[in-house]
């Protein structure tokens, strides 16, 4: 994605308002980050295993939407729990460049970040913000899985679309719903993980719920969806490629008799 063109704040706008707006769009326009690839990679195998078990228990019949949603939630929670330490390290590394020089953590790489977190804050600090991370992954995985399977049935059975059209159409729908379900939780998770104490040692939020309430009070519910179109452009390709590659892997395994 090309870097956005530089521009100057309108003369009628205050510098602080412009800076906040610019910061929101810069965050939304960032290139897809490795942490999202990691969480998706961790979630997909669990999703597949749970889905196969559920289909077997259902005697090969299509799963109802509720069951698909539960499978997505469960797989997302397991995958996010495994990937949470790396997610925390990468969030902090990305946030470092936006902080004043005196407040930067100056991690050299992800491994150095993990080492410093353990050394400075203890092992359990690796799972700081794990709650929002898990909830965010659960919402993304639920929207991704449930919408994909339902869309496949719709495109294939109702519209009579071919294999390629069904896969592309269903994966695009899946990407949209994964983005819509996960963005509010992603916003809260990011705010919690990158926050630092002030001069008095007080953090801006006491927890996820406090972050949600303060955000609602300051900007309303749509504050959680700031930059959604660009966020969707970031997340949807991940989801689409995940399904496309997974389908190809399944076809290869079937051809090999696995």
Percent of the chain with pLDDT over 90: 10
Residue 22 covered by a domain: no
Position 169 scores a pLDDT of: 92
Average pLDDT over residues 239-258: 82
Q: DSSP characters for 196-240?
A: ---TTS--S-SSHHHHHHHHHHHH-GGGGGTTHHHHHHHHHHHHH
Confidence tier at 214 by pLDDT (50, 70, 90): very high
Q: Who wins on pLDDT, 230 or 56? A: 230
pTM over 0.85: no
Position 60 scores a pLDDT of: 66
Residue-wise pLDDT for 121-136, tens only, equals: 888 888 877 777 788 8
Q: Who wins on pLDDT, 199 or 205? A: 205
Place of tokens 């290139």: 31
Residue 237 covered by a domain: yes
Poorest-pLDDT segment among 19-28, 49-58, 85-94:
19-28
Average pLDDT, the chain: 76
Q: Who wins on pLDDT, 39 or 144? A: 144
SS3 category, 28: helix
Q: How far apart are CA 65 and CA 53, in angstroms?
A: 16
Distance from chain centroid for Cα 65: 22
Residue 130 covered by a domain: yes
Residue 151 covered by a domain: yes
Whether 77 shows a pLDDT value over 70: the answer reads: yes
Whether 213 shows a pLDDT value over 90: the answer reads: yes
The pair phi, psi for residue 50, each rounded to 5°, is -65, -40
Residue 118 covered by a domain: yes
Whether 59 shows a pLDDT value over 50: the answer reads: yes
Position 4 scores a pLDDT of: 40
Residue 133 covered by a domain: yes
Whether 107 shows a pLDDT value over 60: the answer reads: yes
Whether 224 shows a pLDDT value over 50: the answer reads: yes
Q: Who wins on pLDDT, 180 or 30? A: 180
Domain of residue 181, CATH code: 1.50.40.10
Helix H segments across 58-129?
Answer: 65-96, 110-121
Looking at residue 154, what DSSP letter applies?
I
Residue 8 covered by a domain: no
Confidence tier at 177 by pLDDT (50, 70, 90): very high
Provide the residue range defining the domain that includes 66: 34-255
The residue among 85, 5, 75 whose CA lies nearest residue 41 is 75
Instruction: State how many domains the chain has.
Output: 1
Residue 115 covered by a domain: yes
Whether 182 shows a pLDDT value over 50: the answer reads: yes
Residue-wise pLDDT for 15-26, tens only, equals: 444 444 444 434
Whether 138 shows a pLDDT value over 70: the answer reads: yes
How would you class 197 by CB atoms within 10 Å of its CB: exposed for 0-12, middle for 13-18, buried for 19 or more? exposed
Confidence tier at 50 by pLDDT (50, 70, 90): low
């Amino acid at each position: 994605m090309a870097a956005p063109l530089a521009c100057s704040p309108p003369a009628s706008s205050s510098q602080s308002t412009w800076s906040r707006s610019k910061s929101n769009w810069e965050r939304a326009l960032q290139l897809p980050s490795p942490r999202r690839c990691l969480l998706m990679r961790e979630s997909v195998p669990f999703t597949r295993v749970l889905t196969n078990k559920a289909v077997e228990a259902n005697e090969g019949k299509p799963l109802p939407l509720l069951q698909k949603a539960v499978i997505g939630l469960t797989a997302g929670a397991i995958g996010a729990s495994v990937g949470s330490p790396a997610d925390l390290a990468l969030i902090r590394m990305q946030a470092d460049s936006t902080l004043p020089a005196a407040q930067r953590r100056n991690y050299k790489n992800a491994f150095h970040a993990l080492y410093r977190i353990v050394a400075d804050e203890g092992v359990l600090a690796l799972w700081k913000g794990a709650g929002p991370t898990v909830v965010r992954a659960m919402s993304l995985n639920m929207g991704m899985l449930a919408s994909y399977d339902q869309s496949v049935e719709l495109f294939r059975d109702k519209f009579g679309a071919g294999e390629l059209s069904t896969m592309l159409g269903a994966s695009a729908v899946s990407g949209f719903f994964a983005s819509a379900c996960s963005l509010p939780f992603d916003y809260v998770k990011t705010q919690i993980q990158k926050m630092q104490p002030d001069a008095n040692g007080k953090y801006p939020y006491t927890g996820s719920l406090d972050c949600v309430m303060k955000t609602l009070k300051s900007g309303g519910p749509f504050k959680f969806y700031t930059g959604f179109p660009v966020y969707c452009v970031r997340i949807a390709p991940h989801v689409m490629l995940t399904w496309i590659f997974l389908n190809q892997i399944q076809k290869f395994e079937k051809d090999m008799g696995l």
